Amino acid sequence: MAGIVFSKLSGRNDSVYKAVEGYITEILQDAMTGVAKNDFETVLKSMFLVKSSKKSGERMGGLTEFADFDIVPEGGAAISDEVEEGFAKLIEHVAFMKDFKVTREMIKDGRIDEARMAATNFANAYHRSRLEFATRALVTEGTTFMYGGKKLDKTTGDGKALFAVDHPGKRKGVVPQCNVFTNPLGSTTEILNRLAVHGRGFKNDSGHVQGYTFDTIIIPGNTPVLENTVKVIIGSLGEIGNNWNDINTQRGKWKLVVNQLWEAADGTEPYILMSADARNALMGSTFWERENLDITNEIDQKTRNFVWNGYTRYSCGFYNWRHVIMGGAQTGQNITA
């Protein structure tokens, strides 16, 4: 997580607020820089590559790759390849603000615990908002997602939704690829293994197999049956669903991320498989921190309330799609068909 900056807009000569200002600042510092009570930052960094930015937005794009090395006769010349720009994507940063107040009466009446709770909740809201924003961007099916009443883009560099059945290649002849499937996970290792192998075979824009290992399972926080099933599938010693003495081929291969802010619709059990290596190498799911959280405070002269205001800028998006697969989706292909 980025740092935190405390700014004073103006000096104050009202002794009523002086001691409280230091107390609230200390509470905010502890809450912001410490571990959030709901572990929001850990979940965010498990799903997204978190990076810092110094621009209004970040544009990323790759290059098509060279073909395989050629066999040449003794003394023969190498065959030159033409390399062109791959798909590119611009992610623009967004400003976020929130404030809270401590009334003069609250201070004069010694209700300091209420002021402490307000400061702690403010810090928790900051951590939660970052994860909520990133979660909606990642898990929503389609080309847009909603946050704060605004419709935001969630396409990748190829112009398709993050999860799509027809991701194109940059070079002619590259067959469209799918990373969204309607298959429920089931109670055995079959679908998990099929999807992992499918992801390992994703081809880049030039049509070459990438070979990334999928190693992370992301699930909603309100699907207890699915959560239990995943734990059984990836944790059992023996093969799941029978009495044979075979090994469980998925044991030890997966990290489970339960995102408490991802709420699946009733009757659905979606899940996302991810390759952490592919995410980082391809900058697939990227969370950009543009401006550190800046907290100011002042006295509202009309109400005499002590007002604390926080301002920050960040963004998230997807330059590539080959690091993730969604299963249990509402629309998509059937991998067993």
In the DSSP assignment, the letter for residue 3 is: -
Which has the closest alpha carbon to 97: 70, 125, 139?
Answer: 125
Give the count of domains, the chain.
1
Identify any residues that bridge with 265 across adjacent strands, giving them in sequence order.
none
Answer yes or no: is 102 within a domain.
Answer: yes
154 within 8 A of 133, measured Cβ to Cβ: no
pLDDT in tens, 104-144: 888 788 788 888 888 888 888 999 999 999 999 999 999 99
Q: How many whole angstroms separate alpha carbon 257 and alpha carbon 267?
A: 21
Which has the closest alpha carbon to 315: 94, 21, 17, 62?
Answer: 94
* 125-143-153 Cα angle (round to 5): 50
Answer yes or no: is 337 within a domain.
Answer: no
Return averaged pLDDT per consecutive 10 residues of the chain, 337 residues in all. 59 67 82 69 96 92 66 76 73 93 82 84 91 97 94 94 93 88 94 97 90 97 96 86 76 95 96 97 95 89 88 95 97 92
pLDDT at 22: 81
Please give the residue range of the domain that contains residue 170.
Answer: 4-60+87-327
pLDDT at 24: 85
Token couple for 324: 């993730």
Coil, helix or strand for 108? helix
Residue 101, domain CATH: 3.90.1690
Answer yes or no: is 174 within a domain.
Answer: yes
Q: How many whole angstroms separate alpha carbon 141 and alpha carbon 297?
A: 40
Answer yes or no: is 115 within a domain.
Answer: yes
Answer yes or no: is 289 within a domain.
Answer: yes
Identify any residues that bridge with 167 across adjacent strands, giving them in sequence order.
177
pLDDT at 278: 96
Q: How many whole angstroms separate alpha carbon 201 and alpha carbon 211?
A: 6
Residue at token pair 């940059």: 170
Question: 84-119 b/e with 16+ CB inside 10 Å = b?
Answer: eebbebebebbebeeebbbbbebbeeeebeebbebb
Strand order in the sheet with 324-327: 255-259, 216-220, 271-274, 324-327
Answer yes or no: is 264 within a domain.
Answer: yes
pLDDT at 76: 76
Answer yes or no: is 131 within a domain.
Answer: yes
pLDDT at 1: 47
Alpha helices by DSSP H, listed for the chain, are 15-33, 40-47, 104-108, 112-139, 190-200, 224-235, 276-282
Answer yes or no: is 74 within a domain.
Answer: no
Which has the closest alpha carbon to 191: 334, 292, 3, 22?
Answer: 334
The fraction of the chain above a pLDDT of 90, given in percent, is 55
